[in-house]
Amino acid sequence: MKNTKNLIATCVLLACSTGLWAQNIQPPLQNVAQLSANGSVEVQQDLLSIAMSTTRDGTDAATVQTQLKQALDVALSEAKKAAQPGQMDVRTGNFSLYPRYSKDGKINGWQGRTELVLEGKDFPRITATAGKIQTLTMGSVSFALSREQRARVEGEAQAQAIERFKAKASEIAKGFGFSSYTLREVSINANDQGPMRPRMMAMEAKAAMSDSAIPVEAGLSTVLVNVSGSVQMK
């Protein structure tokens, strides 16, 4: 009797499980189209970053560290005279000190490097300040988009991409004989493409010029927004 009851209970559970499984089976998607569209806006780069650095070499680690600190302190003092939030921000970069080894694997000296970064939207202010700093030399110059510029341009590119997505969805739906569509899911991604290159001419100019602005030239960035997703044709 007990075994019979257990068998009945097992059958009931299997029947319930089978019913739930059947309810969870989704019918295959029909009349769904996958598509994507892009929007792009080209804009002038408005953020300049100049990295200046110097190296020191000696037999004593403390002496090398002191020399690097002195060179950085003088550069910071000069740079802070012209610093202005957003227009020219000043920050220290990498500061490294590492041993130099002889052929037999023993430490025979120390090498170190320190870095100062000038960054902001006021190109003349930044380049003039870089030209006045004599204790550091030019490391690299790069350009980018400020957050404000990026946000503004991304909005334009996104609106463009969305309109193109909608137009393409309508065109595809009509091409398959449907009168309209509804949006099922959508994904939006943004990025920018542009020259982020070091300007070697600025490094060369630094050697020949003193207390003069470093010549720089910003490039263009293309902000690209991609809208992809699926639509239900009706």
Strands 107-120, 47-58: pairing is antiparallel
Task: Name which of 158, 159, 163, 170 is nearest 231 in CA terms.
Answer: 170
What is the per-residue pLDDT for 216?
77
For the chain, give the secondary structure using H, E and C. Answer: CHHHHHHHHHHHHHHHHHHHHHHHCCCCCCCEEEEEEEEEEEEECCEEEEEEEEEEEECCHHHHHHHHHHHHHHHHHHHHCCCECCCEEEEEEEEEEEEEECCCCCEEEEEEEEEEEEEECCHHHHHHHHHHCCCCEEEEEEEECCHHHHHHHHHHHHHHHHHHHHHHHHHHHHHCCCCCEEEEEEEEEEEEECCCCCCHHHHHHHHHCCCCCCCCCCCEEEEEEEEEEEEEEC
Q: What is the pTM of this model?
A: 0.70
Label residue 12 by pLDDT band (50, 70, 90).
Answer: very low
What is the per-residue pLDDT for 208?
43
CB 47 within 8 Å of CB 145: yes
Q: Tokens 């110059």 belong to which residue?
A: 141
What is the per-residue pLDDT for 218?
81
Q: What are the two backbone dihedrals, phi and then psi, of residue 228, each rounded to the nearest 5 degrees?
A: -130, 155
Instruction: Tell me what percent of the residues of the chain surpass a pLDDT of 90.
Output: 68
Mean pLDDT of 143-155: 91
Label residue 139 by pLDDT band (50, 70, 90).
Answer: confident
Mean pLDDT of 109-131: 95
What is the per-residue pLDDT for 197?
45
Query: Which structure tokens are listed for 202?
Result: 């600025």
Domains of the chain: 29-45+146-194+216-234 (3.30.110), 47-144 (3.30.70.2970)
What is the per-residue pLDDT for 195?
52
What is the per-residue pLDDT for 217?
75
Question: Cα–Cα distance between 78 and 66 in angstroms, integer?
Answer: 19
CB 52 within 8 Å of CB 71: no
- Average pLDDT of the chain to the nearest whole number: 84
Between CA 50 and CA 61, with CA 112 as vertex, the angle to 5 degrees is 150
What pLDDT digit, counting tens, does each position of 154-211 carry?
A: 999 999 999 999 999 999 999 999 999 999 999 999 887 655 444 444 444 444 445 5
What pLDDT digit, counting tens, does each position of 29-81 carry?
A: 789 999 999 999 999 999 999 999 999 999 999 999 999 999 999 999 999 99
What is the per-residue pLDDT for 143?
93
